[in-house]
Chain A
Amino acid sequence: MTPRLEACRVSFAFGDRPVVDAVDLTLAPGELVGVLGPNGSGKTTLLRLLAGLARPSTGEVRLDGRALERWPRREIARRLAVVPQDPRVDFPFTALEVTLMGRAPHQRGLALPSEHDLATAGEALRLVDADAIAGRIIDHLSGGERQRVFVARALAQEPEVLLLDEPTTHLDLRHQLGMHEVLRGLCRSRGLACVSVVHDLNLAMSYCDRVVVLSAGRVAASGPPAEALSPDRVQEVFGVAVTTLTHPSDGKPVLVPRA
């Protein structure tokens, strides 16, 4: 089966400094892939390459088997949505208006929202537990609330591929878990394919089908999280000594820093 999204030995350099170095990544429908790594390891840059926001210096990114460069921008937007790390809004739009912006790739002309647009946006806001704040001005929301609205916007695009850059950094614990539950649910039920940059190793353990661990722009490990995030690997990449414990409820591995 053709992977939804595929990065084939992509590299990206700032001047002569390589930020992403010969990275391979495949994403199949229904998969939730986590991208992890220490600060400066090239995670955000990789995500931007996958989104087509930056052009790789070598290698290629393919969407549904075709190189991203060959896709018209609007067509990409109908299939691929991105949640940026720290989104800003210049003007006082409401949360609903921001979410409705996600419908743009499917609209024409003046783009006044149709019944379907409103329903999709509403559903997206509900999924991220933001329907109560739909009418609030986006600047007045907390960092976490704003982050959720932008996830809603991406979901409103009805994408097949969803790329998220640290979507839960500002979220409280309940919403962090909630968000990933929702993402995993969508992957299972709608075949959504997700790549999510995360910091929290245990979140990755619990929710990701596969992880890609980056170190200095290169893939240091890749595969199911239990294997890719072995204590040795974590020590090597993150420079932190950890122990693996087993979660009493579901038997999944949990990483704990050694004292």
Chain B
Amino acid sequence: MVLGTALGLPSARAAEPLRIVSLAPSTTEILYELGLGEQLVGTCAQCDYPPAARHVPRVGSYVTPSVEAVLAVRPDLVIAVPSPANRDAVRAVERLGVRVLVVRDRVLADLWEGVRALASATGRDREGAALEARIRSALEAVRACVAGRPRPRVLMVVGRRPLIVVGGKTLQHELLEIAGGTNVAADVGAAFPQLSLEVVAARAPDVIIDAAMGSEQGSRTTFASLPNVPAVRDGRVVAVDGDELLRTGPRVAAAAHRLADVIHPDAVTCR
């Protein structure tokens, strides 16, 4: 049985439901949306949404999963997202004959691919297609409600000291653009580049979205020295909770909506 799954044979609706382990918060959320919550036998320590996920046994952290803990729950399928340190653990699990599906999470296209791959691997193609359609239409709704409006210059910050911002080629960048903003750091190339304060001053964003870890006070302090930047001057530095925004999962539309609220607070059609 172990050999069979290692050969990656496509599984139709199996007689017994697949036992699934999810090693990333985003894929956990997708699995629940596909109706597979009951089949989840192991999740990462950071998998906290939906609330039901918190009751699933933990098999290690998103960054470093525990090979033993994963094997102990006898999974048929392990879902992993590439993280800085989990490659060896995931490889080890794979070598021991467990089927592993790797899903990427960098950009929006990764999300569609991930949903499709998960759906296909678990025989939930119909639910997968429906989920994808739902998310796409929700994103379209956001795009529509800010259509035609002038696009403010936006900077999204994910780290304050040093200042780390969202560059081009990221999910967050795409969400920003969908939400009707122009990412001032889009041209920088790297996904999450470090910028000096003077570059922020020079690019003069109208809105700063602060998704960095830390307090309100910290947010104020960080930007206090740039009083002439429009976002600071007009009081448009807004703190946003990172979890929705930084997960390539089913809640991206909600995240885009939140961004649209911040970037276009007066867009009535977005209510």
A and B, direct touch (CB closer than 8 Å): no
